[in-house]
């Protein structure tokens, strides 16, 4: 019991350290501002340096589910089936190449800003739903993973208590300092992950019950049948492209000092994801090479059962390492969980406060009101994630389905809003509905959703749903553009007000933070037909334009009428 008390004291000290770093980082907000604005809290004043940006971007991806899941996959199905490290690394590279520069140059505050600017406020609010669900379920899943891990190492600590305490620490320092606190605590947490796991590996591999992992390579390498290749490719494409349209990613991109640095931090974080996947891969290989009857593990419990497999990393720490090393490894897992949970909580609350509360319900909301709503959102999202982590047993399944919806619905829309000028709200709404319907129709056995459509064994079903959604956006947008602009359909039937029946709505894309900006009159300008990535939005207030490709003649005709 003494060892357990020592371990608990070590974990408590770790939590206090993280909390203090978070509070200290929150004080880095500009001292000249008595009351920080939304951009200061959400994006740290766009003042995140390259080194801190790399750490916080890497720490966001390398969460509890990442390291636990990597070890689990290597142990249960082999390295071949462990797709997350490679998939997320490529995703960061693709995101840096395609989206980091145009999004940062445009001066957006959240990922949903370009959608609301191009498709309207309410369409952006609709796109908020899958983004929110993904963030909440992701936070719940990793908090649940932490609770299960702590309950394995410390049998006298309940899973519920560990989830509540971890969520409370995350909520407190995120409330205090916003992205500044999240980013600087990520630096500390990433250090704990790297040191804690790498220290554990030599101790585990030298246990008398562990065989030579080189000679057991065929056992933990894994095998893939030809019938599994299509499914493997489908899952890999989901990780690569479905890993881009997340606010946690764009929050880091948009907080960078420049567009070039936004690209670089994406590329460097990709390398970091690979490097930090190596310890859990080795731990999974060690577990596969272990004769568990030579350890103090209860052999009456099947080590290959699903309950034991998902906890293989903490089981290796507990049974193959000295206790003090196990506690350091637990600190690494705790750090990994908190580094991802805080990012998701801040991201979801930022999108709600700006893109839903301010731009959908309360257009005249003050900076103080938006910040109050965001802080309330941080508390509610954190509490909701903790509650789901405690009460729901199939959180990973729910998050998995949400990540599918992000891939099928949000990625094609993000691609269009950045690179395809002629898309409009009709195409976006149609693709949203059709993409969702097709994803449900292909079924999800883990949620008992029956499969009603079979595309065949050689078709990647989820990727096909994504392509259907993309094609729907392009075709419907083109058809409606032709019909309305050529007066084949009456302008009065433009019920979404995005082609010819356009109201003078305004959308603040860049928050006014100086007295000079606040004193400027509203300037309503008509965006050109260039892509979003080519525009530098320097005006304090810009007009929402729901169709980039509307001609000047059509606009003049409508104005004169």
Is 360 among the domain residues?
yes
From 465, 499, 533, give the residue that closes a domain.
499
Is 426 among the domain residues?
yes
Is 362 among the domain residues?
yes
- Tell me: do 390 and 471 sit in the same domain: no
- What three-state secondary structure class fits 384? helix
Does 31 score more than 60 pLDDT?
no
Per-residue confidence (pLDDT) for residue 28, from 0 to 100: 64
- Tell me: do 449 and 374 sit in the same domain: no
Q: DSSP labels for 22-75? A: HHHHHTTS-TT-SS--HHHHHHGGG-B-HHHHHHHHHHHHS-HHHHHHHHHHHH
Q: Look up residue 457 and give its two tokens.
A: 């064994």
Which one has a higher pLDDT value, 510 or 340? 340
From 482, 499, 516, give the residue that closes a domain.
499
pLDDT in tens, 256-285: 888 999 999 999 999 999 999 999 999 999
For 151-162, what is the mean pLDDT? 73
Q: Which of 53-57, 145-149, 278-282, 531-535 is predicted most confidently?
A: 278-282
Is 550 among the domain residues?
no
Weakest mean pLDDT among 122-126, 151-155, 367-371, 474-478:
151-155
Q: Could you give the CA distance from residue 476 to residue 59 in angstroms, rounded to a whole number? A: 40
Backbone angles phi, psi at 279, to 5 degrees: -60, -50
* DSSP letter assigned to residue 426: H
Domain ranges, residue 469: 420-499
- Tell me: do 318 and 454 sit in the same domain: no
* DSSP letter assigned to residue 509: -
For 215-219, what is the mean pLDDT? 91
Per-residue confidence (pLDDT) for residue 541, from 0 to 100: 32
Does 100 score more than 90 pLDDT?
yes
Per-residue confidence (pLDDT) for residue 60, from 0 to 100: 81
Which one has a higher pLDDT value, 548 or 168? 168
Does 552 score more than 70 pLDDT?
no
- Tell me: do 191 and 109 sit in the same domain: yes
- Tell me: do 284 and 432 sit in the same domain: no
Is 22 among the domain residues?
yes
- Tell me: do 389 and 251 sit in the same domain: yes
For 220-245, what is the mean pLDDT? 91
- Tell me: do 319 and 463 sit in the same domain: no
pLDDT tier at 311 (50, 70, 90 boundaries)? confident
pLDDT tier at 502 (50, 70, 90 boundaries)? low
C-alpha pair distances (Å), 468 with each of 79, 432, 436, 473? 32, 10, 11, 9
- Tell me: do 83 and 176 sit in the same domain: yes
Q: Could you give the CA distance from residue 406 to residue 411 in angstroms, rounded to a whole number? A: 7
Is 70 among the domain residues?
yes
For 394-411, what is the mean pLDDT? 77
Does 83 score more than 60 pLDDT?
yes
Is 407 among the domain residues?
no
- Tell me: do 116 and 72 sit in the same domain: yes
- Tell me: do 55 and 117 sit in the same domain: yes
CATH number of the domain residue 144 falls in: 1.20.1730.10
Per-residue confidence (pLDDT) for residue 324, from 0 to 100: 82
pLDDT tier at 5 (50, 70, 90 boundaries)? low
pLDDT tier at 246 (50, 70, 90 boundaries)? very high
Which one has a higher pLDDT value, 208 or 185? 208
- Tell me: do 324 and 435 sit in the same domain: no
Does 326 score more than 70 pLDDT?
yes
Per-residue confidence (pLDDT) for residue 339, from 0 to 100: 67
From 459, 479, 499, give the residue that closes a domain.
499
- Tell me: do 223 and 138 sit in the same domain: yes
Domain count, the chain: 2
C-alpha pair distances (Å), 86 with each of 244, 288, 556? 14, 21, 52
Per-residue confidence (pLDDT) for residue 559, from 0 to 100: 42
Is 74 among the domain residues?
yes
For 365-382, what is the mean pLDDT? 88
For 495-517, what is the mean pLDDT? 54
- What three-state secondary structure class fits 434? helix
Burial of 376 (0-12, 13-18, 19+ CB in 10 A): middle
Q: Could you give the CA distance from residue 88 to residue 243 in angstroms, rounded to a whole number? A: 7
């Amino acid at each position: 019991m003494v060892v357990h008390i020592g371990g608990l004291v070590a974990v408590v000290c770790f939590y206090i350290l993280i909390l203090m770093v978070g509070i200290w980082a929150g004080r880095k907000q500009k001292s000249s501002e008595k009351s920080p604005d939304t951009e200061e809290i959400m994006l740290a004043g766009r003042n995140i340096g390259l080194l801190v940006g790399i750490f916080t971007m890497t720490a966001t991806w390398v969460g509890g589910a990442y390291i636990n899941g990597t070890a689990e996959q290597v142990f249960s199905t082999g390295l071949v089936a462990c797709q997350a490290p490679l998939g997320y690394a490529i995703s960061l590279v693709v995101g840096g190449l395609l989206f980091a520069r145009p999004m940062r140059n445009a001066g957006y505050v959240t990922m949903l800003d370009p959608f609301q600017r191009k498709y309207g406020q309410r369409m952006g609010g609709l796109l908020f739903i899958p983004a929110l669900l993904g963030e909440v379920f992701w936070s719940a899943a990793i908090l649940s993973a932490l609770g299960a891990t702590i309950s394995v190492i410390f049998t006298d600590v309940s899973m519920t208590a560990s989830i509540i305490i971890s969520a409370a620490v995350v909520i407190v320092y995120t409330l205090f300092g916003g992205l500044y606190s999240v980013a600087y605590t990520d630096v500390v947490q990433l250090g704990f992950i790297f040191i804690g796991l790498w220290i554990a590996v030599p101790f585990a591999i030298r246990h008398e019950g562990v065989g030579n992992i080189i000679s057991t390579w065929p056992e933990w390498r894994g095998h893939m049948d030809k019938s599994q290749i299509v499914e493997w490719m489908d899952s890999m494409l989901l990780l690569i492209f479905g890993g881009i349209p997340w606010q946690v990613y764009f929050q880091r991109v948009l907080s960078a000092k420049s567009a070039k640095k936004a690209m670089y931090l994406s590329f460097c974080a990709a390398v970091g994801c690979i490097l930090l996947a190596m310890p859990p891969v080795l731990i999974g290989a060690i577990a596969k090479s272990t004769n568990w009857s030579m350890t103090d593990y209860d052999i009456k419990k099947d080590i290959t059962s699903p309950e034991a497999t998902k906890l293989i990393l903490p089981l290796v720490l507990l049974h193959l390492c000295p206790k003090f090393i196990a506690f350091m490894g637990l600190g690494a897992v705790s750090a990994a969980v908190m580094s991802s949970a805080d990012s998701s909580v801040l991201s979801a609350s930022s999108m709600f406060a700006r893109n839903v509360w301010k731009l959908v319900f309360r257009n005249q909301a003050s900076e103080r009101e938006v910040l109050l709503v965001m802080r309330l959102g941080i508390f509610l999202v954190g509490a909701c994630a903790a509650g789901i982590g405690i009460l729901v047993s199939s959180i990973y399944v729910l998050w998995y389905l949400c990540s599918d919806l992000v891939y099928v619905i949000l990625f094609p829309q993000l691609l269009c809003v950045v690179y395809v000028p002629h898309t409009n709200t009709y195409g976006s709404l149609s693709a949203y509905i059709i993409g969702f319907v097709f994803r449900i129709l292909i079924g999800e056995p883990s949620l008992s959703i029956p499969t009603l459509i079979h595309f065949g064994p050689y078709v990647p079903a989820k990727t096909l749903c994504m392509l259907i959604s993309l094609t729907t956006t392009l075709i419907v947008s083109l058809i409606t553009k032709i019909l309305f602009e050529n007066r084949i359909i009456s302008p009065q039937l433009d019920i979404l007000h995005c082609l010819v029946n356009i109201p003078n709505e305004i959308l603040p894309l860049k928050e006014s933070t100086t007295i000079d900006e606040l004193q400027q009159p509203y300037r309503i300008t008509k965006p050109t037909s260039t892509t979003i990535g080519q525009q530098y939005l320097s005006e304090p207030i810009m007009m929402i334009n729901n169709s980039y490709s509307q001609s000047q003649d059509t606009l003049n005709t409508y104005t004169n009428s």
